[in-house]
């Protein structure tokens, strides 16, 4: 990346994200990208993003479906507005158990990169307040409007 743009600074962080270090590790970034494969980490990243007031570009995949959304962007909804509580581990299979259609990670990663660029440019319409869902079997694209739930957020983060 530095060969393409020598003015950028790349800082590798070789540390596992935990409840104890997440706020410190994520603080100071302009955008956070979540490409994790488990709900506990996804909620941890979202909560830090909300508390630090840093936009979060989140994607998830399972079997033949991918989801993408921009969260905590300019007073937009949080992941907890979509899903207030994490599911129990028994409710949702992980990718290694259920499988993933091969090109979905690349597709969703590209879409995430697109949203990050739009956020950094500040001049484009960002996928905030919407959950984008793509089903590869039916080739159906669905967009669900997501409202910010201030009472839920206040209860969770201040209560």
Q: What is the rounded average pLDDT of the residues 65-72?
A: 95
Query: Which of 40-49, 93-102, 125-134 is least confident?
Result: 93-102
Q: What is the rounded average pLDDT of the residues 114-121?
A: 95
Residue 119 confidence (pLDDT) above 90: yes
pLDDT band at 91 (very low <50, low <70, confident <90, very high): confident
Q: pLDDT, tens digit, for every residue of 3-33?
A: 888 998 888 889 999 999 999 999 999 999 9
* Prediction pTM value: 0.89
Q: CA torsion 45→59→111→131, rounded to 10°?
A: -110
Helix (H, G, I), strand (E, B) or coil at 86: coil
Q: What is the rounded average pLDDT of the residues 121-132?
A: 92
Secondary structure letter of residue 64 according to DSSP: T
pLDDT computed for residue 98 by the predictor? 66
pLDDT more than 70, % of the chain:
94
Residue 56 confidence (pLDDT) above 70: yes
Query: Which of 78-92, 101-115, 134-148 is least confident?
Result: 78-92
pLDDT computed for residue 157 by the predictor? 85
What is the token pair recorded at 30? 């302009």
Task: Region of 139 please: left (phi>0), alpha (psi -120 to 50) or beta.
Answer: left
**What strand order describes the sheet that includes 56-62?**
32-34, 56-62, 65-71, 130-135, 140-145
């Amino acid at each position: 990346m530095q060969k393409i743009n020598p003015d950028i600074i790349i800082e590798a962080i070789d540390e596992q994200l935990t409840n104890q270090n997440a706020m410190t590790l994520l603080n100071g970034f302009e955008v956070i990208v979540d490409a994790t494969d488990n709900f506990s980490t996804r909620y941890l990243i979202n909560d830090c993003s909300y508390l630090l007031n840093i936009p979060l570009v989140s994607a998830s995949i399972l079997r033949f479906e991918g989801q993408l959304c921009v969260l905590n962007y300019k007073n937009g909804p949080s992941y907890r507005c979509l899903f207030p509580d994490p599911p129990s581990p028994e409710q949702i299979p992980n990718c290694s158990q259920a499988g993933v259609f091969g090109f979905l990670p690349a597709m969703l990663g590209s879409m995430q990169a697109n949203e990050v660029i739009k956020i950094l440019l500040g001049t484009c319409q960002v996928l905030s307040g919407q959950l984008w869902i793509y089903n590869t079997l039916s080739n159906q694209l669905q967009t669900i409007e997501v409202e910010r739930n201030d009472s839920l957020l206040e209860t969770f983060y201040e209560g």
